[in-house]
Amino acid sequence: MQKQANPELEAWILDQVRAGHSPEAVVAPMLDQGWQEQAAIDAVETVVRRHLEEHARGSGVPVPVPVPAPVAWNGPSVLNAGDREVQVLAHLVHPQVVVFGGLLSHEECDGLVELSRGRLARSSTVNLNTGADEVHAARTSQGVFLRRGENALVARIEARIAALLEWPVENGEAMQVLRYGVGAEYQPHHDYFDPDRPGVGRILARGGQRVASVVMYLNTPTRGGATTFPDVRFEAAAVKGNAVFFSYDRPHPMTATLHAGAPVLEGEKWVATKWLRERAHA
């Protein structure tokens, strides 16, 4: 007969999680008590998620949702992304930020730049009051959206990201390629959509909330251009072929995912950004 979590076990699981023990360390004693491994994993996830949901409702903040989680604590330093191995260069737990080395080859970076160079326009942001795209003073780059699967190069990179993050290709928005010249930047902002703004309803109807971002560096600026996280004083350097991934399990500043594209001080910066949604994005 499959074991079930009782109140005493649930309290013990929460105590272990609060103490900072890894999921593996919480599951191991349950296996010693005769639990099947998958049942133990499911029980721990259920207890923790129910606790988080109850805490969120009691605190008046959004309930967390599942997000991509490609890296475990003290996990492998090289991950299989389907057609390519990708290095884990840095991993921040809260917020969940991962710096990937070699997500793209140099040839793929150059290909995305050439595909986009003649199609650039002043970058826009979504006006959350109207749901429309508008030019904003906080974002001084030039960019273009590449349709999902637009060509073999784009499709290959999208499939690689999906394999690396274990998140469906169809949940991704169109890839955006951006160019930042000297002095260009993207001031601190969140990538999720504020659900309290009047124009957000029609945005969320097309796949739900954004839950993660992947920023891929298509060249190495001479100086400047890092992706910064001011709340946690962390930055990822812009290095050709590398990428920074971060997720946010609810549309709230408590995710600590405030981030910025720091000004380019010398040279130029090219990036490709992929935003991921809860569900299939149309």
DSSP one-letter string for the chain: ------HHHHHHHHHHHHTT--HHHHHHHHHHTT--HHHHHHHHHHHHHHHHHHHHHHHTSPPP--------TT--SEEE-SSSEEEEEEEETTTTEEEEESSS-HHHHHHHHHHHHTT-EE-EEE-TTT--EEE-TTB--EEEEEPTT-SHHHHHHHHHHHHHHT--GGGBPPEEEEEE-TT--EEEE-SS--TTSTTHHHHHTTTS-EEEEEEEESS--SEE--EEETTTTEEE---TT-EEEEE-SSSSGGG---EEEPPEEES-EEEEEEEEESS---
pLDDT tier for residue 128 given thresholds of 50, 70 and 90: low
Mean pLDDT taken over the chain = 93
211 burial level (CB within 10 Å; 0-12, 13-18, 19+): buried
Cβ neighbours, 10 Å, residue 64: 18
Q: What pLDDT is attached to residue 31?
A: 94
For helices 37-59 and 7-18, the axis angle rounded to 10 degrees is 80
Q: What is the mean pLDDT of residues 87-91?
A: 98
pLDDT digits (tens, 9 = 90+) for 252-272: 999 999 999 999 999 999 999
pTM of the model: 0.83
- Rounded alpha-carbon distances, angstroms, from residue 158 to 99, 210, 272: 18, 16, 11
93 burial via Cβ count (<10 Å: 0-12, 13-18, 19+)? exposed
Paired strand residues for 126: 133
Q: Is residue 57's pLDDT more than 90?
A: no
Kindly tell me the sign of the dihedral angle through the C-alpha atoms of 224, 227, 230, 233.
negative
Instruction: List pLDDT tens digits, range 206-254.
Output: 999 999 999 999 999 999 999 999 999 999 999 999 999 999 999 999 9
Give the sign of the dihedral formed by CA 111, CA 117, CA 123, CA 125: negative
Residue type at position 12: W
Cis peptide before 7 (omega within 30 of 0): no
